[in-house]
């Protein structure tokens, strides 16, 4: 069974993990678990109270196939957790590393975006909020997730393509991932902008 470790922080973005956590295990047989650098109870950006009782060392010991850093406004602040060593150790152990929205800042600070194509909310978002980031030449302005060398990045507005990329990295077949993408896109097929 593939393993996906979801890294949460206080104020994590509710919509960025939901498709992964809500479908991975019940529909696709992926073991998805939650971890945090500081365990305990905290709230999501939308106010959902959660208790995360597994830390980053436990995540490393569990050996996930994919490590997913969920966004949230904390990543833009000075008190953002420093998870560089954890991300580099996870990558060294063979895990794909994924970051969405503010989570891409953690990847940038770890140097993981310096040598691969990647995206985020904007190029300025990375340059202004990730000290040491040197990957600006490889930044791609993209409305969907970008995958390069088992590094997955996405803007906060792309949770579906991000989930699809995470599922592919976890080993789901391209056919299953395509079906998942089509299922979620069906809502928008044929809708005129005035109907939104």
pLDDT in tens, 135-156: 999 999 999 999 999 999 999 9
The per-residue pLDDT for 42 is 95
The residue range of the domain holding 179 is: 3-195
Q: Scanning the structure block, which residue is given the tokens 């997955």?
A: 152
User: Token digits for 86?
Assistant: 């954890």
Residue with tokens 């949770």: 159
Q: Does residue 192 carry a pLDDT above 80?
A: no
* Arithmetic mean of pLDDT over the chain: 95
Tokens of 78: 């000075």
Domain count for the chain, please give it. Answer: 1
Residue pair 100/63 in contact (Cβ under 8 Å)? The answer is no
**Nearest partner of 30 among 82, 65, 72, judged by Cα:** 65
Dihedral sign from CA coordinates of 6, 37, 63, 31: negative
Domain of 132: which CATH number?
3.40.50.880
Mean pLDDT of 173-184: 95
Query: 């990329």: which residue's tokens?
Result: 165
CA 111 – CA 193 distance, rounded (Å): 40
Evaluate whether 5 touches 66 at the Cβ level (below 8 Å).
yes
Distance CA(163)–CA(165), nearest Å, equals 5
Q: What is the band of 191 on the pLDDT scale with cuts at 50, 70, 90?
A: low
pLDDT value of residue 195? 53
| Separation between Cα atoms, residue 142 and residue 127, nearest integer Å | 16
Q: What pLDDT, on the 0 to 100 scale, is given for residue 186?
A: 84
**pLDDT higher than threshold 90 for residue 164:** yes
Percentage of the chain exceeding pLDDT 90: 93
The average pLDDT across 2-23 equals 97
With cut-offs at 50, 70 and 90, classify the pLDDT of residue 188: confident
What is the chain's Cα-based Rg?
16
Task: Return the pLDDT at 190.
Answer: 65
Q: Residue 189's pLDDT is what?
A: 76
- Give the per-residue SS3 of 103-124: HHHHHHHCCCCCCCCECCCCHH
């Amino acid at each position: 069974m593939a393993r996906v470790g979801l890294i949460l922080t206080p104020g994590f973005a509710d919509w960025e993990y939901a498709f992964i956590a809500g479908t991975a295990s019940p529909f696709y047989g992926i073991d998805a678990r939650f971890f945090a650098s500081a365990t305990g109870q905290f709230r999501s950006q939308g106010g959902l109270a959660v208790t995360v009782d597994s830390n980053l060392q436990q995540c490393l010991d569990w050996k996930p196939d994919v490590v997913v850093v969920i966004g949230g406004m904390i990543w833009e602040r000075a008190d953002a957790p420093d998870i560089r060593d954890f991300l580099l150790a996870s990558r060294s152990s063979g895990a794909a590393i994924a970051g969405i929205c503010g989570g891409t800042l953690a990847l940038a600070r770890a140097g993981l975006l310096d040598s691969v194509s990647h995206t985020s909310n904007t190029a300025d978002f990375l340059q202004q909020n990730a000290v040491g980031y040197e990957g600006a030449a490889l930044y791609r302005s993209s409305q969907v997730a970008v995958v390069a060398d088992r590094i997955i990045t996405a803007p906060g507005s792309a949770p579906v393509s991000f989930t699809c990329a995470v599922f592919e990295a976890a080993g789901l077949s391209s056919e299953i991932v395509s079906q998942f993408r089509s299922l979620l896109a069906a809502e928008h097929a044929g809708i005129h902008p005035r109907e939104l």
